[in-house]
């Protein structure tokens, strides 16, 4: 009969081997059953080292080849030029009376008496295609 120390050591080694085997099977299972939407393929392509090291035209070709069939091409990137800032108005002299350049805000309408209040709802979204 084996001693208690030997039995404990054998059980610990056996449990560690089972744990490693289960971790390997779990990793294989997750990787083999992973399903991404086909529309996300360009994002996965952008994560590859070959895409990062390639030039602009080669990057576009890699992304185009990874898109699913029938997918729309992306919108072109436009250069943005900020508009020129408007010239500031000269500040009035300290002794001069300032002319109001804005009209006074209208007062809010009076609330109707009682518990009934009219509410207007505006829908600003496009109808769904399906």
Is residue 111 within 8 A of residue 117, CB to CB? The reply is yes
* CA 37, chain centre distance (Å): 16
pTM: 0.33
Q: What is the pLDDT of residue 7?
A: 93
Helices (H), 1-130: 4-33, 41-46, 49-53, 56-66
pLDDT in tens, 62-117: 888 888 888 877 777 777 777 777 676 666 666 655 555 666 677 666 665 656 66
């Amino acid at each position: 009969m084996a001693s208690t120390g030997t039995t404990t050591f054998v059980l610990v080694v056996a449990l560690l081997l089972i744990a490693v085997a289960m971790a390997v099977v779990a990793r294989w299972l997750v990787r083999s059953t992973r399903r991404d939407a086909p529309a996300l393929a360009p994002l996965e392509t952008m994560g590859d080292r070959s895409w990062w090291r390639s030039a602009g035209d080669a990057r576009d070709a890699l992304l185009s080849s990874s898109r699913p069939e029938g997918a729309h091409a992306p919108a072109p990137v436009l250069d943005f030029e900020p508009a020129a800032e408007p010239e500031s108005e000269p500040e009035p002299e300290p002794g001069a009376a300032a002319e109001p350049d804005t009209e006074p805000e209208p007062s809010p309408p009076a609330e109707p008496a009682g518990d009934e209040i009219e509410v207007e709802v505006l829908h600003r979204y496009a109808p769904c295609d399906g």
